[in-house]
Amino acid sequence: MHYENNVRCPEHYSQVAAELSGLNRTIARGLLHRPRPAGHPWRLPEEISRLFENMLDLTDALRGELQCFSRIILVADFLPADADVGQAFEKVSAPVENLLELHHVLWRRPFPDGFEAGQYLLSAIMERPLRSMLELFEKALAVIDNPKKARDREGSETISLSLNLEADREVHAFLRWCDTFSLARLQRKKGNLRIDKALRQEADWRDKSWFEMAVAFLFGRFSKKYNS
Whether 102 shows a pLDDT value over 90: the answer reads: yes
Can you give the pLDDT at residue 51? 86
**How many CB atoms are closer than 10 A to CB 200?**
15
Residue 166 confidence class, pLDDT cut points 50, 70, 90: low
Greater confidence, 173 or 211? 173
As a whole-number percent, the residues of the chain with pLDDT over 90 amount to 24
State pLDDT tens for residues 24-52. 999 999 999 999 999 999 988 778 888 88
CATH of residue 128: 1.20.1420
In a domain, 5, yes or no: no
Greater confidence, 88 or 6? 88
Can you give the pLDDT at residue 38? 96
In a domain, 225, yes or no: no
Contact status, residue 12 vs residue 159, Cβ threshold 8 Å: no
Alpha-carbon distances of 203 from 55, 72, 78, 208, rounded to whole Å: 11, 32, 41, 11
Domain count of the fold of the chain:
1
In a domain, 68, yes or no: yes
Whether 130 shows a pLDDT value over 50: the answer reads: yes
Any idea what DSSP says for residue 34?
P
In a domain, 223, yes or no: no
In a domain, 3, yes or no: no
Report the b/e string of 70-86 with b at 16+ CB within 10 A.
bebbbbbeebbeeebbe
DSSP string for 37-59: P-SSPPPTTHHHHHHHHHHHHHH
Residues 218 and 76: their CA atoms lie apart, in Å, by 9
In a domain, 61, yes or no: yes
Can you give the pLDDT at residue 55? 86
**How many CB atoms are closer than 10 A to CB 117?**
14
Can you give the pLDDT at residue 194? 41
In a domain, 1, yes or no: no
In a domain, 211, yes or no: yes
DSSP string for 94-161: HHHHHHHHHHHHHHHSPPPTT-HHHHHHHHHHHHHHHHHHHHHHHHHHHHHH-HHHHHHHHTSSEEEE
Per the structure, the complete domain to which residue 104 belongs is given by 13-35+44-218
